[in-house]
Amino acid sequence: MRPRFDADLIARYGGEGPRYTSYPTALQFDDAFDARAWKRALGESNRLPIPADLSIYVHVPFCFSPCFYCGCNRVITRSPFAGQEFLNDLEREIDLVAPNIDDDREVRQVHLGGGTPTFLQPMQIEQLIRMLKARFRFASDAEIGLEADPRSLEPEDLPQLRRIGFNRLSLGIQDLDPDVQRAVNRVHDLARIASIFGAARAVGIDSISVDLIYGLPLQTTEAFARTVEDILNELRPDRISLFNYAHMPHRFKAQQRIKGEDLPTPTVKLALFRNTLSRLLDAGYEFIGMDHFALPDDDLARAHRDGTMTRNFQGYSTHGGLDLLAFGPSAIGQVGDAFAQNHRGLPDWQADVRAGRLPIARGLVRTTDDRLRAEVISTIMCTGEVRYADFEQHYEFRFRRYFADALARLEPLVDDGLIEWVEDGFRATAAGLLFLRAVAMAFDAYLQPAGDSSGPRRFSRII
């Protein structure tokens, strides 16, 4: 189904809301959950009748220079020693976790994020993967992905990265317009990106994705359209993420470098989204959900069509049902119903791992209600459709009775044409596909009452 753009609906339902990479969201994490609780959760995960296989996330916290739009947890440095010092500490953390995981559990997915993972040299990235493979058993077809800044990745690096095992690459392009790039302190050119793409294709990287951001300073509809055309004509990536820039300078210091008067007006920002949405769909990309698009033959598009796509802290994924081990400052892991987040600050994280302590700052253990709501929300976010019987058979309850309040909150969305009732459930309409976050929010037990907008913004806008 092709999503339908409706400006009136965006005005009513395009406000802020969680991205639901987890439920409960990280806002609910509590510092009462500590290293002992996480170690206990790791042990319990081994004792299940069929322990889950593994996904691994590593947060590399460093960047060479600040991108002013960035809301990520990162440390700006040009120290030639920072990368190796980080790897030494990372090995300490891995050694604290690995003994708690049974040897027969396979790693099926690895993702390096940040920060800028390509802050590390290729030989250091190889060292990192060797650390993991020495302590965990990798599946022969494991998906190994790397986020890359095109300014710190050389085309000649790709053969080594492919040999190490990387088969997915994500490039943060954001915008190709020189004025916009200077305004956000992230300057690169299409020729360099095209050379990286060519090298990645040549060595057999299975899937290449790019990130774009709309709403950045000095963006215009004409210039951003040129960026989109260049990407489609010169690169044609397998996946495209079209992120909405959330200007929250009260939370992210780097964003204070962006002048408010340089940001596009709400009307222009809406036009940027509308035009790009239409162009990507016309170019043959499938709308996966929220802000993600993929070519029809990409694994993510296939998973979306056959209902096996899932959602986790890295966004939409083809790998569901995995326990997530997360390493590095601020990284969030999930094992069963337990979530754990490492210390955000690099010094705090370093102090714990050097003292032989798991660097857990906070987390939580989901209740049965949390788990049920998480599955409903994930189903909405990944398929746009909920069938009550699917949940009633597993949990042995009456969906309509248990979620009576949530279903009542959906009535205005039905009246406005975002969703429709179907036999034994509901589903998003073409107009509602852009508002799956708003649909999911009806089942979120932790959101403040409707209409209460007190306090600073906690979430990005839906559109």
Taking the CB of residue 51, how many other CB atoms lie within 10 A of it?
Answer: 17
CA 248 from centre of chain: 19
β-pairing, 425-428 vs 419-422, is: antiparallel
pLDDT in tens, 388-401: 999 998 888 999 99
- CATH 3.80.30.20 placement within the chain: 29-326
Q: What is the pLDDT of residues 29-67, one digit of tens each?
A: 999 999 999 999 999 999 999 999 999 999 999 999 999
At residue 198's C-alpha, the angle toward residues 194 and 203, to 5°, is 150
Question: Is pLDDT above 70 for 451?
Answer: no
d(CA 79, CA 71): 22
pLDDT band at residue 457 using 50, 70 and 90 as cut-offs: low
DSSP 264: P
Percent of the chain with pLDDT over 70: 98
Q: 264 preceded by cis ω (within 30°)?
A: no
pTM: 0.95
Tell me: domain 29-326, CATH 3.30.930.10, correct?
no
* pLDDT, tens only, 171-209: 999 999 999 999 999 999 999 999 999 999 999 998 999
Burial of 238 (0-12, 13-18, 19+ CB in 10 A): buried
Ranges 119-123, 232-236, 318-322: which has the least confidence: 318-322
- What would be the CATH architecture of the domain defined by 1-24+367-463? Orthogonal Bundle (1.10)
Nearest CA to 437 out of 377, 383, 387, 388 is that of 377
